[in-house]
Amino acid sequence: MATTLTMDKPDNRDRLDAMAQGVIGKPLDRPEGPLKVTGTATYAAEYDVPHCAVGVLALSSCPRGKVTDIDRAAAMEMPGVIGVYADDAMLRRPAQGTAGEAPVQDVGTVDYFGQPVALVVAETFEQATAAAQALTLTYEPATDHIAFDAEGPNARIEDAPENTPVDQGDLDQAMADAAFTVDEIYRTPGHNSAAMEPHASIAQWDGDVLTLHGSYQMIGYNVDELADSLGVEPDKVRIIAPYVGGGFGSKLGISHEAVAAAIAARDLGRPVRVVLTRPQVFQTTMRRSETRQRLRLAADADGRLTGLGHECLVSNLPEEGFAEPVTQATAFLYGGANRRLKVDIARICRMNAGSVRAPGEAVGMQVLEAAMDELAEKVGIDPVELRKRNIPECHPSEGTPYSSRKLAEALDAGAKRFGWDKRNPKPCQQREGEWWIGTGMASAARVNNLMPAKARVSIAPDGQVTVESDQTDIGTGSYAILGQIAGEMLGTPIERVTVKLGDSNLPKGAGSGGSWGAASTGSAVFAAAQAIRATLAERLGCGEEELALKDGIATGPNLRADITDLLKGEALIEIGEIEPGDTGDDFAQASYGAFFTEVAVNAYTGETRVRRMTGVFAFGRVLNEKTARSQCYGGMTWGIGSALMEELAFDTRDGHLVNHDLAEYHVPVNRDVPALEVILLEERDPAANPMQAKGIGELGICGAAGAISNAIYNACGVRVRSFPITLDKLIVALPPA
């Protein structure tokens, strides 16, 4: 049977709080953890598929144009080479998240330097690699002048699609009348997700049915994208992805290697494995767009915002609808009656821009929070107080109420735990040997989304519970969380709950993206379990809300029975479904938090070290304390990378990516990350979903880099408005050592 819940109004029943098992929210281990740490979890490229050939993509050395000829002769004569493919159905770009249809195809048209243009298939990886390098490609370069740089002279600037500008009141007059103003340009570079597991697919056909072992985040959508790319019906495609070694947005949509592997496998009549090399991951998969952001803040004598402007320039390829939603949190975080929020997009020749962890807020918040620090200094009030003073009563532009919001509480809790009251607001006041020491803070905010999702929950005659969904686990804890929800609702010890994920033959979950996986697919599990509870309650002779289930025992008013007796030797199976409803429009939904950090800046070299960092986060009900805390650690680590080291470097003469590996694209390593402190503020958000939980996967990055930037200024007195804040940008402006 199927049970559908639609969020048309807030759910204030606190059903999970009324359960008796006591596993929800607990810091339980991830059940698949031992498989991963012992190397026995099978990732996409690791399946032992007999007679499997290996494909390697060949990339374009032309920045834009047409492939007019592929000389295959030399490659085909090399040992082990089976075929060379440049099929029109192969992808020029990966699909955007939740696209559900084929992205731009026809690899003979070149959109950017490093675009895949052919696939070489051989018996071994080494043979395929050598043959791909031996291909001779002839190009007809494009004659029009499309820019390689968003701020270059040939860049074509457009209004960003799917972005609604805000122009409210008179910002220019507010700036003119304000007691204090900030008007600055900030820049952030492009980023790569740099997930540990590279993009990988094994394609195998059985007649006209394709099975793909792939590394993907949202396989319900990916099935449709892959089927559309290949010209087959979705019911002829199965994607299996039980373990995904990170994604961070880069694996939201179907990518080059999956379609290429499927085309070659269909032609050869044998399985084909295609794994992107690390440079290919950087050169061909989703990037976060670089940004230029103009922040204007107008405040009265008390530091209350009267005007707020956030105007941004981002980039993407022609024809792409995605534009980094930089102003997403700015729209609702702080007040100010006079507002101008706008995103423009430059059409340039770089690989596809799309969602990278916390699209919008990850780069928008760090800049907004840096600007707020500048305003606090000008007004002469504490940065924490400035933010609290500007928390609006309702959404500043739309007038909708907030569903729940513990921003002020997070700011206060973080300040107390960090010891913010001991901070000297004046820069260059603390020195330890050759190091300037400073502290900084920032708010955190990330929009909350609920997505359609389904899940099947069954309870066997012996009381064993099984949860099934095509929901993926990309290292975030889906296996643990979904099991906890079912175990709590059905009174089943967690060791008697089995969770099966990552197979498109299972009910369609929400997928892992946008921090919505646990809350959305979890709500589907909740709905299915609630339907089972209703059946058990009826058999026990009580109402569902009177039923208590714990350790396999059902109790009601003066009633008690083993659950196995109520099952009567038969399994109960329910499919739960969650649908977004009116609460998505009736309330401004977001998760909130605050960062506090201490840094040391070398007085001679400009080297910056983060010495300690505290994050406080409020995101509705905590479903698993351990996995939630881990996500916060990960987000804060990303914040360190965004602040100090991560940037994609492009050659603006031809758009090629210069630093396309982990040797040159620097991410934080163990030495860069101090002992991070995370505080979780429990709350309930009845408008979010029936579980009253919100997303946490991305909140930990949103504003973190701004806090580090502010701490650097407090340490050495240097404001750097171009991220990352590398030592070359600091050393030229450091005070005398």
538-578 pLDDT tens trace: 999 999 999 999 999 999 999 999 999 999 999 999 999 99
What is the overall mean pLDDT for the chain?
97
Residue 456 host element (H or E): strand 453-459
User: Beta-carbon neighbour count of residue 208 at 10 Å?
Assistant: 9
Pairing relation of β-strands 676-681 and 608-618? parallel
Report the C-alpha gap between 531 and 549 in whole angstroms.
14
Q: What is the mean pLDDT of residues 701-707?
A: 98
The pLDDT > 90 percentage for the chain reads: 98
SS3 content of the chain, % helix, strand, coil (to 5): 30, 30, 45
pLDDT at residue 385 in the model: 98
- Sheet architecture: strand order including 65-71: 109-110, 65-71, 136-141
Whether pLDDT at 162 is above 90: no
648 neighbors 353 (Cβ within 8 angstroms): no
Which active-site residues does the annotation give?
698
Whether pLDDT at 584 is above 90: yes
pLDDT at residue 424 in the model: 97
536 neighbors 566 (Cβ within 8 angstroms): yes
Report the C-alpha gap between 62 and 107 in whole angstroms.
12
Report the C-alpha gap between 311 and 708 in whole angstroms.
23
Q: Where are the alpha helices (DSSP H) in 136-197?
A: 171-177
Q: What is the mean pLDDT of residues 601-605?
A: 98
pLDDT at residue 2 in the model: 86
- For residue 309, give both structure tokens: 């402007």
The pLDDT > 70 percentage for the chain reads: 100
Half-sphere exposure of 733 (CA within 13 A, CB side): 16
Report the C-alpha gap between 362 and 368 in whole angstroms.
11
pLDDT in tens, 607-626: 999 999 999 999 999 999 99
pTM of the full structure: 0.97
pLDDT at residue 146 in the model: 85
Report the C-alpha gap between 719 and 621 in whole angstroms.
38
User: Beta-carbon neighbour count of residue 737 at 10 Å?
Assistant: 10
pLDDT in tens, 621-632: 999 999 999 999
CA 737 remoteness from chain centre: 41
Classify residue 662 as exposed, middle or buried by CB count within 10 Å of its CB (0-12, 13-18, 19+): middle
Whether pLDDT at 219 is above 90: yes
pLDDT at residue 137 in the model: 97
Q: What is the mean pLDDT of residues 189-206?
A: 98
Pairing relation of β-strands 287-288 and 291-299? unpaired
Q: Answer left, alpha or beta for residue 100, where phi above 0 means left and psi between -120 and 50 means alpha.
A: left
CA 553 remoteness from chain centre: 40
Whether pLDDT at 1 is above 80: no
Report the C-alpha gap between 615 and 404 in whole angstroms.
19
Residue linked to tokens 């390593």? 669
Q: Where are the alpha helices (DSSP H) in 601-703?
A: 625-644
pLDDT in tens, 16-75: 999 999 999 999 999 999 999 999 999 999 999 999 999 999 999 999 999 999 999 999
pLDDT in tens, 354-371: 999 999 999 999 999 999
Residue linked to tokens 């991951």? 281
To the nearest 10 degrees (0 to 180), the angle between helices 625-644 and 704-716 is 50
Q: In which band, very low, low, confident or very high, does the pLDDT at 314 lie, cut at 50, 70 and 90?
A: very high
CA 631 remoteness from chain centre: 11
Q: Which is nearest to 348 in space by CA: 313, 399, 389, 376?
A: 313
Q: In which band, very low, low, confident or very high, does the pLDDT at 737 lie, cut at 50, 70 and 90?
A: confident
Longest dimension (CA), the chain: 83
Q: Which is nearest to 104 in space by CA: 311, 373, 322?
A: 322
603 neighbors 716 (Cβ within 8 angstroms): yes
pLDDT at residue 144 in the model: 85
326 neighbors 293 (Cβ within 8 angstroms): yes
Q: Rounded to 5 degrees, what are φ and ψ at 561?
A: -160, 155
Q: Rounded to 5 degrees, what are φ and ψ at 367?
A: -80, -45
End-to-end CA distance of the chain: 73
Q: Which long-range contacts (CB under 8 A, 24 or more apart) does 533-538 make?
A: 533/489, 533/490, 535/572, 536/563, 536/566, 536/572
The DSSP result for 426-454, as a single string, is: SSS--EETTEEEEEEEEEEEEE-----EE
Question: Cis ω on the peptide bond leading into residue 198 (within 30° of 0)?
Answer: no
Report the C-alpha gap between 524 and 387 in whole angstroms.
37
